Structure 1
Amino acid sequence: MSAPVKETDFLKILNEELLSDNWGKVTKYTLDYRRRDGTWQRQTREVYDRGHGAACLLHNPETGCVLLTRQFRLPVWLTDGSAAFIEAPAGLLEGARPDERMRAELMEETGFEVSELEHLFDLQMSPGSITEVLSYFRGSYQERQRTGEGGGAESEGEDIEVLHVPLEEALLMVSDSRIRDAKTVILLQDLALRELQAAKD
């Protein structure tokens, strides 16, 4: 995705200050923004850029289960002290095509090798402060497609537990806050709507 120009009819970027350039970049912007009433307002914003990513929910039509992961997430622990967090497999693109990267993440995190994935949509994850766009996928899996152990990359500090959860139970886990990950909720609700529509047809 190309970077926007520095000035438009509604926006003038006056200054960019790089605050951090470690795992991702944090940049402080000073800008003039033209409001809807035509007046200009000086604003300051900090933007975090760590690249774009992909997420996928796999569903086993034979068992009715979805494939989820459970792992430690430091930001979650800092927020509420949770030792583990349940979510759909996901990862950063790091220059790869979203579908290619997603297949690699599925293999790395869950041990399942899946050839066919359906691209659902691309969503801005946290538009107030983060540039990340996440590509969402869905697919099906069967036990015979397990070709590895999964668990993530130890060199990256990953220690991932693979979960096979019935879809109905996963939806209940959203209701009672056992699942609190936004991308996972979106994927579960999308699948539930598709299953409901299929039952009607």
Structure 2
Amino acid sequence: MLIARLAGEHPDSSQAAILTELRRCLLDGGVPPGSAIPLEEVAAVFGVSVIPVRESLKTLIGEGLVEHRPNLGYTVAKLTAAELREMYLVREVLETAALTASVAAAGKADDEAVERAHRAMAQAVRDGDAAAYHRESRRFHLALVTPCGMRRLLGMFESAWNITEPLQSMTHLTAAERGTLQQDHDEILAAFLARDTEELLRAARAHHGGLRKALDSLPSDTGLFA
């Protein structure tokens, strides 16, 4: 599965380029947790030895995206259901910490970025496109916190989000559940545009509470969880 997504021309075969391409494939949801990452086949795609591929995979292990087991090789990392809930809690704490500063610093360009992502989410709900909804939800939440300007916090927020991406949580929810979460996003957007910090934090807390309930409903028999 991974090799099919990597197939094509790769004029840049530096270790940095290999790392970027592997990370992209893992984050875009096309390679589910538990999928094998065949070292020699990946090296062949890029026309390199296994050394730069192995070094790239070591980096991705450190990022929580890849696992390695002796004699079994490399696979896309799996989370337990408890670990998934934990990472969503981390995301909630970091997002809440950023929102107050974000509202105070946001300008017209930030409003437009949040609104674009919100419109794309709404369209995904209407189209029944679960993958697009998942993708645009990430874009929406990142747009909300980016104006805070806290570089290290934003880095931790994105890293925490990345760890959950191979699972593509929103694609496993029902259409009704995604619709309910989108109603939360409506309230978050309105409070952000109004620069109403108290209402924004209330809406965000309610949204994360809804997310926790939705995560509890995810099927545990799909093989996606450790």
Normalised by the length of structure 1, the TM-score is 0.28
Structure that is richer in strand per residue: 1
RCO higher in structure (CA 8 A, sep ≥6): 2
TM-score norm. by structure 2 comes to 0.26
Indicate the structure with greater helix content.
2
Structure index of larger Rg: 1
